[in-house]
């Protein structure tokens, strides 16, 4: 294996003091630092007195630049990859380069560091034992509804201009779904607003949030969670001798849960 290698270096998502000592050391030792915007990366490097050779690596030149960087690493160069903020590859360029390095048998090291997705998840006060990251939310309503239908906590990025529209779709599906809107994390105007989908949709309908936004959405309730009490009552009636379909109709009248839904849940056991 060549001595050349790739080092993935997370950078601060707002506050420049969040850079790690290991990242700074890697940036100092790298022969090349590949970055989305050389001007933004230079601000960080100047802050800590890091003199490094920068090359641009972004979504528009990713494939061509990846080939160049792999060739340099084969010749023994150490390349550090950074994005404008946070961890490369997480809704940022880098996948093409990592894949090319692995295919070429080059070592890939990943340093821990800032992540807006993780910061938003922890600040949301929503369950973090099972969660998924969706990147930027889709615009098509059917795709958006599908994203919101998962049972685990959802973390996603969203444009401030589209926060209200996305929350409106969620509120139509489940107005009581818990949501946290985190914006400008680690920055001067950091804010985390928690509430139901209906509450936050109304809040931002005419006053969209400013800055970079991450939405954290509670998991969709399962069918049993939604109809559990009604289904339990139906089971007890059937166990007492009632016929399932008439009993489902009676429970439906009392609870508002559709009779067909109750019957299907009962017979699926």
CA torsion sign, 35 to 39 to 43 to 46?
A: positive
pLDDT greater than 50 at residue 267: yes
> Is the pLDDT assigned to residue 224 strictly greater than 60?
no
| pLDDT over threshold 60, residue 229 | yes
pLDDT (0 to 100) of residue 1: 43
pLDDT digits (tens, 9 = 90+) for 155-171: 999 999 999 999 999 99
Bridge partners (DSSP) of residue 243 are none
pLDDT of residue 222: 67
Q: How many CA atoms lie within 13 A of 59 on its CB side?
A: 5
Report the predicted TM-score, pTM, of the whole model to 2 decimal places: 0.79
Name the residue among 229, 220, 219, 221 with its Cα closest to residue 257: 229
- Give which of 151, 145, 132 is closest to 171, Cα–Cα: 145
Q: What percentage of the chain has pLDDT greater than the value 70? A: 97
Average pLDDT over residues 173-202: 96
Question: 37-83 pLDDT, tens per residue?
Answer: 999 999 999 999 999 999 999 999 999 999 999 999 999 999 999 99
Inter-residue contact 251 to 230 (CB < 8 Å): yes
Model confidence at 231, pLDDT cuts 50, 70, 90, reads confident
Tell whether the model's pLDDT for residue 268 goes beyond 90.
Answer: no
Quick: pLDDT tens for 10-37. 999 999 999 999 999 999 999 999 999 9
Residue-wise pLDDT for 96-148, tens only, equals 999 999 999 999 999 999 999 999 999 999 999 999 999 999 999 999 999 99
Can you tell me the mean pLDDT for 84-99?
Answer: 95
Q: From the CA atom positions of the chain, what is the Rg in Å?
A: 25
Mean pLDDT, residues 207-225 taken together: 87
């Amino acid at each position: 294996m060549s001595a050349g290698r790739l080092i993935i270096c997370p950078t601060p998502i707002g506050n420049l003091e969040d850079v790690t000592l290991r990242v700074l050391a890697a940036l100092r030792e790298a022969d090349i630092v590949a970055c989305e915007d050389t001007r933004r990366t230079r601000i960080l490097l100047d802050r800590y007195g890091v003199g490094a050779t920068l090359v641009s690596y972004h979504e528009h030149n990713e494939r061509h630049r990846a080939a160049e960087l792999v060739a340099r690493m084969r010749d023994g160069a150490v390349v550090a990859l950074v994005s404008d903020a946070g961890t490369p590859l997480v809704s940022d360029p880098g996948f093409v380069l990592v894949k090319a390095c692995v295919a070429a048998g080059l070592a890939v090291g990943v340093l821990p560091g800032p992540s807006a997705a993780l910061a938003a998840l922890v600040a949301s006060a929503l369950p973090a034992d099972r969660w998924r990251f969706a990147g930027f939310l889709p615009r098509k309503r059917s795709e958006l509804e599908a994203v919101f239908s998962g049972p685990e906590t959802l973390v996603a990025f969203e444009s401030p201009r589209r926060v209200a529209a996305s929350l409106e779709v969620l509120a139509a599906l489940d107005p009581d779904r818990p949501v946290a809107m985190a914006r400008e994390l680690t920055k001067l105007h950091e804010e985390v607003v928690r509430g139901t989908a209906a509450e936050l949709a109304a809040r931002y309908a005419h006053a969209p949030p400013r800055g970079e936004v991450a939405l954290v959405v509670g998991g969709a309730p399962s069918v049993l969670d939604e109809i559990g009490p009604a289904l339990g009552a139906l089971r007890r009636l059937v166990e007492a001798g009632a016929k399932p379909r008439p009993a489902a109709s009676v429970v439906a009248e009392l609870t508002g849960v559709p009779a067909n839904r109750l019957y299907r849940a009962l017979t699926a056991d």
